[in-house]
């Protein structure tokens, strides 16, 4: 395992709003093997955090640990309160209501015979309960979520008939139906064309600006540097975290991804990070 690079610009270390989500000393082992170790992470409201790392780094596992879907040790708090409860350390009611999760697209059962509206309604189960019927307020929340992702016109369409980009919007709407404070997005851009990616990036920015904490895993590193307020470079542990400007140098990326000093990736990252710092039109400019 690589050593931690000395870049730690966590939200706690900087002035600004208190973190909505805090992760401390998180460790996860799966199949008897350590997958995450000593992970420390925090995200404040209004923040769009990019969680990046090579294949197998533990990004999905980290999101699943925050959701209480895999056993973990350490501390996870939401607005200062424990995200897990009971002896089994399962997800607390607060965590269930506060976190919206957008899994990777292939994880959803698209061949299930439901409409777009019905699929989005399943995002309300945490509020409705499994054995109760949906109420007017639930359908209103679903309509609002569909509006948000511009899918209202397709609400009666069976989900199996949707394109990849439309499916991604349905998953985002399903998470938004809970009106969560924290939004976890697992590789939301995989297989999407550039205009759709840009449109969704704008939406994620807006959602963060509405006092949500948004965490997004992304294999498009240059895109993440362009779009995110902060980045967390993960490889079993947090190798480095900071703003794009703070992560403009090559070392954290070389350590996290194992790329050589001559990698074109490093040049591209440095250019985008610099553009954001100087506020030139090439940069996103929201850092």
Ligand X SMILES: Nc1ncnc2c1ncn2[C@@H]1O[C@H](COP(=O)(O)OP(=O)(O)OP(=O)(O)O)[C@@H](O)[C@H]1O
- Whichever of 53 and 283 has its CB closer to ligand X, that residue is 53
Query: 237-255: buried (b, 16+ CB within 10 Å) or exposed (e) per residue?
Result: bbbbbbbbebbbebebbbb
186 near 104, Cβ under 8 Å? yes
DSSP 3-state of 39: strand
105 contacts ligand X (rule: CB under 6 A): no
Candidate list 60, 92, 98, 196; residue touching ligand X; CB under 6 A: 60
Q: What is the Cα–Cα distance from 36 to 57, expressed in whole angstroms?
A: 8
CB of 52 to ligand X, least distance (A): 9
Determine phi and psi for 100, rounding to 5 degrees: -100, 135
CB of 50 to ligand X, least distance (A): 13
CB of 59 to ligand X, least distance (A): 4
153 near 85, Cβ under 8 Å? no
242 contacts ligand X (rule: CB under 6 A): no
With tokens 């992304």, the residue in question is 218
For ligand X, which stretch binds (CB under 6 A), given 52-60, 164-172, 267-275, 279-287?
A: 52-60
Indicate the burial class of 167 (C-beta count within 10 angstroms; 0-12, 13-18, 19 or more): buried
Nearest one of 95, 64, 93, 68 to 79, comparing CA atoms:
95
- Whichever of 58 and 283 has its CB closer to ligand X, that residue is 58
Count of residues that interact with ligand X, criterion CB under 6 A:
11
50 contacts ligand X (rule: CB under 6 A): no
218 contacts ligand X (rule: CB under 6 A): no
223 contacts ligand X (rule: CB under 6 A): no
Candidate list 26, 44, 57, 200; residue touching ligand X; CB under 6 A: 57
35 contacts ligand X (rule: CB under 6 A): yes
DSSP 3-state of 158: strand
30 contacts ligand X (rule: CB under 6 A): yes
Token pair belonging to 225: 């540097």
141 near 163, Cβ under 8 Å? no
61 contacts ligand X (rule: CB under 6 A): yes
165 contacts ligand X (rule: CB under 6 A): no
**Residue 268, CB half-sphere, CA atoms under 13 Å: how many?**
10
CB of 4 to ligand X, least distance (A): 17
230 contacts ligand X (rule: CB under 6 A): no
* Chain contacts with ligand X (rule: CB under 6 A): 30-31, 35, 53, 55-61
């Amino acid at each position: 395992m690589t050593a931690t690079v000395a870049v730690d610009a966590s939200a706690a270390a900087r002035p600004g709003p208190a973190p909505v989500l805090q992760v401390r000393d998180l460790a996860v082992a799966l199949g008897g093997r350590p997958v995450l170790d000593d992970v420390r992470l925090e995200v404040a409201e209004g923040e769009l955090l990019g969680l990046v790392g090579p294949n197998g780094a533990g990004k999905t596992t980290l999101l699943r640990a925050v959701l209480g879907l895999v056993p973990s040790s350490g501390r996870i708090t939401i607005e200062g309160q424990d995200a897990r409860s009971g002896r089994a350390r399962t997800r607390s009611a607060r965590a269930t209501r506060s976190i919206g999760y957008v899994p990777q697209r292939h994880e959803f059962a698209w061949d299930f015979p439901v409409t777009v509206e019905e699929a989005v309604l399943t995002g309300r189960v945490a509020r409705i309960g499994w054995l109760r019927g949906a109420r007017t307020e639930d359908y209103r929340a679903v309509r609002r979520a569909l509006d948000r992702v511009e899918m209202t016109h397709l609400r009666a369409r069976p989900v199996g008939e949707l394109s990849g980009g439309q499916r991604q919007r349905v998953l985002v709407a399903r998470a938004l139906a809970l009106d969560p404070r924290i939004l976890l997005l697992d590789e939301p851009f995989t297989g999407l064309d550039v205009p759709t990616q840009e449109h969704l990036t704008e939406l994620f920015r807006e959602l963060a600006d509405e006092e949500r904490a948004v965490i997004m895993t992304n294999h498009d590193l240059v895109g993440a540097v362009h779009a995110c307020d902060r980045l967390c470079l993960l490889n079993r542990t947090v190798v480095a975290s900071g703003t794009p400007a703070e992560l403009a140098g090559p070392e954290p990326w070389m350590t996290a991804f194992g790329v050589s000093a001559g990698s074109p990736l490093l040049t591209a990252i440095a250019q985008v990070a610099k553009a954001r710092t100087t506020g030139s039109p090439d940069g996103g400019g929201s850092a």
